Structure 1
């Protein structure tokens, strides 16, 4: 329950010290004392002007007007449209011995820095949100790229194994080609021995030798292609491994940046709470 200010003498005392009370506040402030109709004393703030002077009549729905009518402490924020700078107004009613309100005393505290902080805080929060969103997208892309790299590495490994098997097949084909060549040479020798009766066999021997030569040349060409494929697959595998490593580093870095942004956001919110508590503390 709020402790009451009672007596005309108390109101008179506040009227006398109004010029000095503003010195008690850390931020720019205006201080006043009034009766039920007009201001008995008013000390303007330095950074913002409310435009009230001693002897002016009270305006309706101001903090002091509400404090007198409601018989309770009033604490309200006033927008910057009123005086160019937002401020926090606090008014406390003063009672007589019969519990009738005879006036009020109060203070108006500048909220200029608080509003500036809120604006800056909002910008930072928006920037943090955008950066965090971008970092998460980068992280997701890096993870996806790493997965693709792993799949490519697996495919390269399988392709390399297939090339090895193909190389083994080519060795077998080469062996068949050599044996076919030997068979053609032997057939030619036997055809020569047979003389006139071996002419037909000589034609077959020539065809076998041609087939052997063609097979041997084809096997040599394919072997060269396979070696080129093996070199290419090895290069792809090496590049894929490097890409996967880079992607993992990017993903880890993105997560680190995201965590830092979240920490900065938390600190900014904590700072905002301190500002709110500071403002609230001056109104108690």
Structure 2
């Protein structure tokens, strides 16, 4: 095994201990997997000894001579993760293999789902607020109508009171006139001076 690959393999546990996300690490020479370190949740059957194939991150890094990145969906291995593979060069600038790191996107997926939920809830709150505003406007208009109706009713009541006062006054004066007439009739009867219409009855 190339010394550069050996040095990287010996440093992997230290590197993994400082990485903040659940991850798995794989290293290959130019043909096959030579090292695999599973993560806590991110793990599958060990690929050590199996050949690297086109489409694998390690193969793509070696054959394209550059870092290769891709995202694997949850449907493929049961958990979503991002894979970063980079070619490994020895002291002679020759590619001797590749180093691959795959880290979990589970937390990111949870955050994205939470963001969608919050956005959906915000839309519902906005729609409810708009409905409340609409109902508040309708209620305000109805209250204005009620105030106008109350004012009109007060005016009608005042007019009714004036009419009742007038009727009472007329009735009062009518009663006084009737009383006066009765008094005059009584006086006339005592003195024998009956009104003409009384004499002809």
Q: TM-score, normalised by structure 2?
A: 0.77
1:14 paired with 2:18, answer no
Residues 111-147 of structure 1: CA distance to partner in whole angstroms, max 9, x if unpaired? 2222223223333332333234223322432343133
Instruction: Tell me if the contact between 2:4 and 2:90 (Cα under 8 Å) persists in the aligned partners.
Output: no
Instruction: Tell me if the contact between 1:50 and 1:82 (Cα under 8 Å) persists in the aligned partners.
Output: no
The 5-angstrom pairing of residues 187-202 of structure 1 reads 187-188=181-182, 193=188, 195=194, 197-198=196-197
Q: Which residue of 1 aligns with 2:41?
A: 47
1:38 paired with 2:37, answer no
Select the structure of larger CA radius of gyration. Answer: 2
Equivalent of residue 163 in structure 1, options 147, 150, 157: 157
- Secondary structure of 2:50's counterpart equals coil
1:25 paired with 2:19, answer yes
Residues 141-186 of structure 1: CA distance to partner in whole angstroms, max 9, x if unpaired? 2343133223312321332133123212221222122223333444
State how far apart, in whole Å, the 2-side matches of 1:59 and 1:132 are: 52
Flag structure 1 segments of 5+ consecutive residues without an equivalent. 1-7, 203-284
- Secondary structure of 2:101's counterpart equals strand
Go from structure 1 to structure 2 and tell me whether the alpha carbon gap of 1:56 and 1:21 turns closer, same or farther (over 3 Å shift): farther
Residues 216-241 of structure 1: CA distance to partner in whole angstroms, max 9, x if unpaired? xxxxxxxxxxxxxxxxxxxxxxxxxx
Point out the structure with the larger helix share: 1
State how far apart, in whole Å, the 2-side matches of 1:140 and 1:85 are: 46
Instruction: Tell me if the contact between 1:48 and 1:84 (Cα under 8 Å) persists in the aligned partners.
Output: no
Q: TM-score, normalised by structure 1?
A: 0.57
Flag structure 2 segments of 5+ consecutive residues without an equivalent. none
Instruction: Tell me if the contact between 1:64 and 1:106 (Cα under 8 Å) persists in the aligned partners.
Output: yes
1:177 paired with 2:188, answer no
Aligned residues: 193
Point out the structure with the larger strand share: 2
Residues 67-118 of structure 1: CA distance to partner in whole angstroms, max 9, x if unpaired? 2333322222211222221111111123468876443212111122222232
State how far apart, in whole Å, the 1-side matches of 2:170 and 2:108 are: 91
Structure having greater relative contact order (Cα 8 Å, sep ≥ 6): 1
State how far apart, in whole Å, the 1-side matches of 2:59 and 2:175 are: 119
Residues 6-44 of structure 1: CA distance to partner in whole angstroms, max 9, x if unpaired? xx6534422333344321211111112213321121111
